[in-house]
Amino acid sequence: VVIVGAGFGGLTCARALKRAPVQVTLIDRNNYHLFTPLLYQVASALLDPAEVARPVRSLVRPLANVDFRLGNVERIDLEARRVVTDRGDVPYDYLVMAAGSQTNYFGNRSLEAAAHGLKELPEALTLRNLVLRRFESSAWETDEETRKRQLTFVVVGGGPTGVEYAGAISELIRLVLARDMPGLDPEEPRVVLLEAADSLLGAFDPRLRAAAERALRRKGVEVRCGTQVAGVREGWLELGGGGRLPAATVVWTAGVRASDLAPGLAAAAEVVPGRQGRIPVDTALRLPGHDDVFVIGDLASYEVDGQALPMLIPVAMQQARHAARSIRDLIQDRRPRAFRYRDPGIMATIGRNAAVAQIGRLRLSGFPGWLLWLGVHLVNVVSFRSRLLVLINWAWEYLLFDRPVRLIVAARPEDPDSDRLSDRGRQPRKKR
């Protein structure tokens, strides 16, 4: 079995195949598994990368039948049953595609060039550095207009990621940086959250949406619903109605689409991609016409009552367990069963003491919602070590209003081929 992607779907599938009579190759372009729900806390200087990501090798070490390979999957050769990577081809009997999704800029070049995504670990680090750097630069700035622009942070997209990040940077500014920088006028920095729809958190109950908006406003976030973004220019945001908003930093959380592998896979299988470019699958989560290929998680479009299941962790994990069970069924000549999703609920936090949670008929907001959010996320952080470190950092921040990881530090750009032996490198050295 070859699994593409060591995210929530791929890793869960590898784990679910632990006792199956199969040899698993798990391929990912990163050597870590990322716990996305806490990524915004890396981008707001609350957590370090190692607290939200774990090396895949350490996670699969207890799985005797799983081999991990670091590599970028370029395409799938369905006819030859091979996964084509930048490192070589990997043949499969069964394939599980769990390559996830990526930021969607809807073809808007200016957005793609100037706005910052919040989907990958390097993006979160870039944002952390940028926010901190903007404050340091503002301390030197004598021109008031330029300083205002430097200190305006616009988050586009009122879904959970946008809401959580807007709340988190507002708290970073008001509770931590304002104390660090006595010369800073606390009224000068602005955090603006833009949403094209009429309200934030469209997937939530209207009461919770209103509670989230109130909590954000209390934390100093300017919420503007019904506002579209047309483009980003150096230091400016162009709004749909023709207005302009001066802002040096724009964070784009307003769109997601299936991984770049989706169009090639859809074309090879002659299926039409669904909304967000996701791959339609049959009831057993297989690629239509290819009984040996499963597609799960964000990459898959599995419809219930005419609507694709959302791009969420519980969907990816439940589908992963189902695909693993189907592979075991197929090996034993049994027909795979149809997938059924059990919805565990949704939640989003707005910072200290505020969150909204919707679980079955239960609706929680404010402090009770926040306690539930803390508990659920702490239990689900991938390893015991991360759980402990996250808890220490949260407690430290909560009690002392301090975020110790506010360092401006970036790795030098790495050459991805640096570990390959070039032909020149292999030649014996000439003697002098």
Ligand X SMILES: Cc1cc2nc3c(=O)[nH]c(=O)nc-3n(C[C@H](O)[C@H](O)[C@H](O)COP(=O)(O)OP(=O)(O)OC[C@H]3O[C@@H](n4cnc5c(N)ncnc54)[C@H](O)[C@@H]3O)c2cc1C
Q: Under the rule (CB under 6 A), what is the footprint of ligand X?
A: 4-10, 27-30, 36-37, 39-40, 72-73, 98-100, 118-119, 160-161, 259, 261, 297-299, 311-314, 316
Residue 71 or 288 with smaller CB distance to ligand X: 71
d(CA 61, CA 314) in angstroms, rounded, equals 24
Main-chain phi, psi angles of 19, to 5 degrees: -100, 5
Characterize the bridge pairing of strands 101-103 and 229-233: unpaired
**Least Å from the CB of residue 124 to ligand X:** 8
Residue 121 or 178 with smaller CB distance to ligand X: 121
* CB-closest chain residue to ligand X: 7
Angle 355-356-361 (CA atoms, 0-180°, nearest 5)?
150
Question: How many other CB atoms are there within 10 angstroms of residue 388's CB atom?
Answer: 13
| Helices 8-16, 313-331: inter-axial angle, 10-degree rounding | 30
d(CA 338, CA 351) in angstroms, rounded, equals 39
Residue 36 or 170 with smaller CB distance to ligand X: 36
**Least Å from the CB of residue 116 to ligand X:** 12
Residue 29 or 57 with smaller CB distance to ligand X: 29
Handedness of CA 60, 61, 66, 67 (dihedral sign): positive
Residue 132 or 279 with smaller CB distance to ligand X: 279
**Least Å from the CB of residue 432 to ligand X:** 44
Question: Which of 123, 141, 164, 171 is an active site residue?
Answer: 164
SS3 95: strand
Residue 49 or 314 with smaller CB distance to ligand X: 314
d(CA 310, CA 322) in angstroms, rounded, equals 17
**Least Å from the CB of residue 122 to ligand X:** 11
Among residues 296, 292, 295, 261, which one has the least CA distance to residue 85?
261
Residue 277 or 297 with smaller CB distance to ligand X: 297
- Kindly tell me the burial class for residue 210, based on how many C-beta atoms sit within 10 Å of its own C-beta (0-12, 13-18, 19 or more): middle
d(CA 348, CA 201) in angstroms, rounded, equals 9
Helix (H), strand (E) at residue 32: strand 32-34
Cβ atoms 94, 330 nearer than 8 A = yes
- Kindly tell me the burial class for residue 5, based on how many C-beta atoms sit within 10 Å of its own C-beta (0-12, 13-18, 19 or more): buried
164 is catalytic: yes
Handedness of CA 264, 265, 269, 271 (dihedral sign): negative
d(CA 17, CA 13) in angstroms, rounded, equals 6
- Which sequence positions are flagged as catalytic? 164
